[in-house]
Amino acid sequence: MLPAAAACPARFAVPYGYGTFVLYELEAMEKLGVTVELYSLLRERSQSRPSGSGEVGLKRARYLPWLSPAILRAHWHFIRRDPGRYFRTLAEVLRGAWGCIRCFGGALAFFPKVVRFAYEMEKQAIQHLHAHLRTTRQ
């Protein structure tokens, strides 16, 4: 059995082209025998409903609220396990976003979700993460 993998687009948008591209990648990996989980930082709000594989993709994607007890438990888990690593990671994320207020705000907003995703991926023994993220500093 090949190791499990995860894909994490910033937005999983279907029927838009980008979401379809991600679905094709997932389907190709699964044909090779890799178990792939789909995590998305944001749920795309669309007026049109996808059909076929797009609908399946939306159903299998994992979304999180901005904050929840499960998110707080994940943070507490990593803080207890290795507080230095947790706080160094948070500092590195914020330092990397420094100088761009939009990027810094995004880092603060998304860090809680990302930690929960990391917790879930660890529980699922995911060995590889392919992140589809894009940032443009303005």
User: With helix as H, strand as E and coil as C, how does the chain read?
Assistant: CCCEEEEEECEECCCCHHHHHHHHHHHHHHHCCCCEEEECCEECCCCCCCCCHHHHHHHHCECCCCCCHHHHHHHHHHHHHCHHHHHHHHHHHHHHHCCCHHHHHHHHHHHHHHHHHHHHHHHCCEEEEEEECCCCCC
* Residue 52 reports pLDDT greater than 60: no
84-124 confidence digits (pLDDT tens): 999 999 999 999 989 989 889 988 999 999 999 999 989 98
Does 49 have pLDDT greater than 60?
A: no
Establish if 119 belongs to a structural domain.
Answer: yes
Judge whether 99 lies within some domain: yes
Does residue 138 form part of some domain? Answer: no
Q: 54 pLDDT exceeds 70?
A: no
Looking at the domain assignment, is residue 58 inside a domain? yes
Q: Is residue 34 part of a domain?
A: yes
Residue 137 lies in a domain: no
Number of domains observed in the structure of the chain: 1
Predicted TM-score (pTM) of the model is: 0.74
Is residue 102 included in any domain, yes or no? yes
Domain holding 98, by residue range, is 4-132
The rounded percent of the chain whose pLDDT value lies above 70 is 68
